Amino acid sequence: MHPQNPQTKRELITDSLFYLLVFLSIACFAVLQTFGDPPDEINRFKVVSYICRYGRLPVGNDPEVLLDGYGASYAFQPMLTYMIQGFLLRALRLFTEDGYALLLAARMVNAVFGVAMAYFVRRISREAWRNPYLQWTFTLLTVFLPQNIFIHSYVNTDSMAMLSVAVIFYVLLKAQRTGYGTGDCILLAAGIILCAMSYYNAYGIVLAAIIIFISEFVHLGGRAGQSRRGLWVEWRPLLGKGMLISVIVLAGIGWWFIRNGILYQGDIIAMSARRECAILTATEEYNPLTRFTWQKSGRSVWEMLTATGYLTLLRDSFVAMFGPMLIPTHGLIYIFYKWLWILSCAAAALPLERIKGEVSWERWGRKKTLIFYGSMALFCMITIGLSIYYSYTWEYQPQGRYILPVLLPFMYLVTLGIEKAALFLGRWVCIGTMAYVALAFAYSLFVRFIPYYMEGENLFSQCGQMLIP
């Protein structure tokens, strides 16, 4: 055997310590926060508890999983995360009935998703930049945004959605350089399955992936060795690789949508069925027919966004807002991120041909660059648009977790801006950014989050009551 390269060994140790730190950070949140404090955890856990007790998936209108007051349930939505958690707890109940242990085990499933996401973020960083300072700047900006760590610490499907975006983004980025090998196609299909079986607000990344994938095999111009010009398609690789991805994806998610179609009279995404169930089971205050919405009030979307502090709360809860949206971090941290994003995005908009850094998007060619950027922008607009539409037509909820799936492409853009700033300010702009990100996260965890729960009342016993008949 050849001796391991010292640099490779050092990177392996550094990455291992990083993943350990990510897990411990998520675990701090998971261990301390009381049951039900994180957004809608109690209602989500009803689905996990049902699977744990009965060993089967609930129907959306089952009384045991209905949301108190709101009607309907999370069982109408994709529940792969809940399935993993439910069957895991079903196995663990052979050894313990302790509510705290069972809840912590369920939360650890999301913690694993968080570490897996961090792994793909590191791979993305190495694919995008050779400079280690830029690699770690992107990695820390993405992974250690306080809200990202928090989202992986409780029972939800957002965590799997975040992992799916990281997997898909990595494959699409790598393919700009290497094309779509068989391994890449399988990994892309796996990412799409995770996305489709997690949360609808992340589905925009699947549309972006389809556009970018097809564009790889569609060309405008003459073929090599031919004088004829025009639009032409590489049909063989497009159909062959596309079929491979499609077959894997359909095998992974087809059963869920077929099940929905059978249970809900052809409604394969179960959105209409969920609304009808809410009409029948919700209280008057939350019933879709009688509840207040901005749409019913006759006021415009613009009024909702500007007259209520909607955008400010959306931004702040995208950065850090723990518990039931009641535990903020320090105000200066929000200000720092605000100006970091504004200045970095402005720098990223500078003409690429003037850049002389380690990496340039020009190496892909103009077509690939425009399609990749445009598709990711479309993904971001769809995700943010869905959140605003939901707040306007269903329930006013400016929560950053609804748009958190855009974190990865957004921080990629931010890091491109930092890369350009580093041309003038040197590596110190990266070091300074990383230091502030670390301090902001440490403050949020040790000064805001931990003291809040160390002084609070422990409610873990409720978990045991839900699991034990």
Per-residue pLDDT of the chain (469 residues; tens, 9 = 90+): 455 566 688 889 999 999 999 999 999 999 999 888 899 999 999 999 999 999 999 999 999 999 999 989 999 999 999 999 999 999 999 999 998 999 999 999 999 999 999 999 999 999 999 999 999 999 999 999 999 999 999 999 999 999 999 999 999 999 998 899 999 999 999 999 999 999 999 999 999 999 999 999 988 765 555 555 678 889 999 999 999 999 999 999 999 999 999 999 999 999 999 999 999 999 988 998 998 888 988 899 999 998 888 999 999 999 999 988 889 999 999 999 999 999 999 998 876 445 554 444 455 677 888 899 999 999 999 999 999 999 999 888 899 999 999 999 999 999 999 998 888 888 999 999 999 999 999 999 999 999 988 875 544 545 555 555 5
Nearest CA to 154 out of 51, 274, 29 is that of 29
Q: Please give the pLDDT value at position 6.
A: 67
For 14, 15, 151, 292, 371, the CA distances from 8, given in Å and listed in that order, are 10, 10, 31, 58, 34
- The conformation of residue 64, written as its DSSP 8-state character, comes to T
Residue pair 81/110 in contact (Cβ under 8 Å)? The answer is yes
Tokens of 97: 């009935």
Give alpha helix (H) positions in 197-270: 204-215, 235-263
SS3 322: strand
Contacts of the segment 55-59: beta carbons below 8 A, 24+ positions apart: 55/87, 55/90, 57/83, 57/259, 59/263
Look up residue 319 and give its two tokens. 């950065």
pLDDT of residue 425: 84
Q: Round to whole Å and give the CA distance between 376 and 384.
A: 12
**DSSP-assigned beta bridge partners for residue 231:** 220
> By C-alpha distance, which of 193, 407, 379 is closest to 185?
193
Q: What is the DSSP string of 135-193?
A: HHHHHHHHHTSHHHHHHTSSS-SHHHHHHHHHHHHHHHHHHHHH---HHHHHHHHHHHH
Sort 15 into a burial class: Cβ within 10 Å, 0-12 / 13-18 / 19+. middle
Give the CA distances from residue 191 to residues 124, 187, 245, 252, 281, in Å, rounded to whole numbers and listed in that order.
14, 6, 10, 11, 35
> Is beta strand 327-328 parallel, antiparallel or unpaired with respect to 321-322?
antiparallel
Q: Dump pLDDT digits (tens) for 236-257.
A: 999 999 999 999 999 999 999 9
> What's the CA dihedral at 94, 98, 100, 104 to 10 degrees?
-10
Alpha carbons 12 and 21: distance in angstroms, whole number: 14
Calculate the dihedral angle through the C-alpha atoms of 258, 260, 262, 266, rounding to the nearest 10 degrees. Answer: -100
Q: Which amino acid is at 241?
A: K
The alpha carbon dihedral of 254, 259, 262, 267 has a sign of: negative
CB 135 within 8 A of CB 162: no
> So what's the pLDDT on residue 467?
57
Q: What is the pLDDT, as a whole number, of residue 361? A: 46
The pLDDT score that the predictor gives to residue 125 is 96
Q: With H, G, I as helix, E, B as strand and everything else as coil, classify residue 235.
A: helix
pTM: 0.93
If you count DSSP H runs as helices and E runs as strands, how many of each does the chain have, helices first?
20, 4
Q: Using an 8 Å Cβ cutoff, are 47 and 59 in contact?
A: no
